[in-house]
Copies of this chain bind each other. A is one copy, B any other.
Amino acid sequence: MASRIPVPGGPVRGSRSGKPIMALFDLLGRSWALGVIWQLSGGPLTFRQLQESCEQVSPTVLNRRIKELTSSGLMERGDKGYRLTVAGAELFELLRPMGAWSKSWAHNLSCDEHGDRMRDRK
């Protein structure tokens, strides 16, 4: 059980540095952690709504992410469901531009792959 929750200042999934950025990366480097924050940015969601909006992530994992993100002060439980805290909303603002960026990334990637196919063809 246990499942260490990355806290800045403490050791982090094999890391002993405790550097805040590494603790943050460890926290966000788990399945659906970024997705949960992303989905909650639209407003509070219940457990099942959250699960649904995260492509039916298994309740086991969702519950774990909820505990981790809660105990690290990024989300909390209100009466309308789970929601981002102030800190969580701040972090989302840093994440937000990735939405647009990921689209052009996707576009360029598929172009490159197309290029590869064309090249392979010769």
- Say whether A32 contacts B35, CB under 8 Å: no
- A94 beta carbon closer than 8 Å to chain B: yes
- Chain B positions within 8 Å of A29 at CB level: 28-35
A98's nearest neighbour on chain B, judged by CB, is B94
Find out whether the CB atom of A38 lies under 8 angstroms from the CB atom of B21: yes
Instruction: Give A96-113 interface residues, CB cut-off 8 Å to B.
Output: 97-99, 101-103, 105-106, 108-110, 112
State how many angstroms separate the Cβ of A73 from the closest Cβ of chain B.
Answer: 6
Query: Could you list which residues of chain A lie within 8 angstroms of chain B, going by C-beta atoms?
Result: 7-9, 13-17, 20-26, 28-35, 38, 55-57, 72-73, 87, 90-91, 94, 97-99, 101-103, 105-106, 108-110, 112
